[in-house]
Structure 1
C-alpha cells in the first residue's frame, strides 16, 4: 500500500476521563448520536498542575475518530457532558487509508 492511499482526511480527538465508566458513558453517547464511528480506550497515568499543586491520577484516555463535519459537535458534546471541570480536548487532523475513510463515511 503506497502513501498516496493515505490522503483521506479524518480527525483524532483525545480526551481523558476519571474512570472506565465515565469514558464508556461519553463514548456511547457520541456513538449513539452518530457523531463518531469509533473510539478506543487506554489506561494512563497523568501528572498535572491543579489548584497550585502537582497531582497524579490514573485515568482513561479516549482516542475518538471523527469526520471533519462532526468535529465541532464532538468537541461541544465532550465539553457539555464531561465529568471534569476543565476537560482535556485535543484534536489533530490525520490521514487515513481509503478503506477506513470510506467506512467512517458510511456511519
Structure 2
C-alpha cells in the first residue's frame, strides 16, 4: 500500500551517456558498489541542447537510478569520475511516495545508512 510519509530520503538520479556500453559499465559498477539499487537503461533518447554557444543534438542513453539522499554525494562523485562527458547531467529528484515493500528492498540493496 502506498500513501505513507517517507521523509524524502529516497531519490531517483538521472544521467545520460553517448554509448550503451559506457552506460552499462557504469551502471554495473554503481550497483556493485551499492550506491544504487537499480539502474534502468533506456537506449533511445534524442536530446537537443545548447553547448558552447551552439544548438546541438545527439542520440543518448538515459540511465535512471534508485538510491538514497545520503548516498547522493558519493554517487555523484562516482558517476563524474567514470563519465566521458565534460559536463555530465546528474540530476536527483526526491521520491515522494512508493510501496513499503519497494523501499524495504532499496534499503536492503543499498549501503547501510550512516547516522549523523
Flag whether TM exceeds 0.5 (same fold). Answer: yes
Three-state SS of the structure 2 residue aligned to 1:3 is: coil
Q: Which deviations, in whole Å up to 9, do the C-alpha atoms of 1:21-54 show, x marking residues without a partner?
A: 1100110110111111101011200001112211
| 1:49 aligns to 2:30 (yes or no) | no
* Counterpart in the other structure of 2:114: none
* Greater share of residues in strand: 1
TM-score if structure 2 supplies the norm length? Answer: 0.84
CA contact (8 A) 2:3 2:98 kept: no
**Deviations 1:47-91 (Å, cap 9, x if unpaired)?**
011122111100001001102221111111111111100000111
**Where does the alignment leave 5 or more consecutive residues of structure 2 unmatched?**
110-116
**Runs (5+) with no aligned partner, structure 1:** none
Q: CA RMSD in A?
A: 1.2
* Alignment length (residue pairs): 105
Cα distance in structure 2, aligned partners of 1:26 and 1:76: 12
Aligned to 2:18: 18
Normalised to the residue count of structure 1, the TM-score between the two structures is: 0.91
2:88 matched residue in structure 1: 87
**Quick check: which one's helix share is greater?**
1
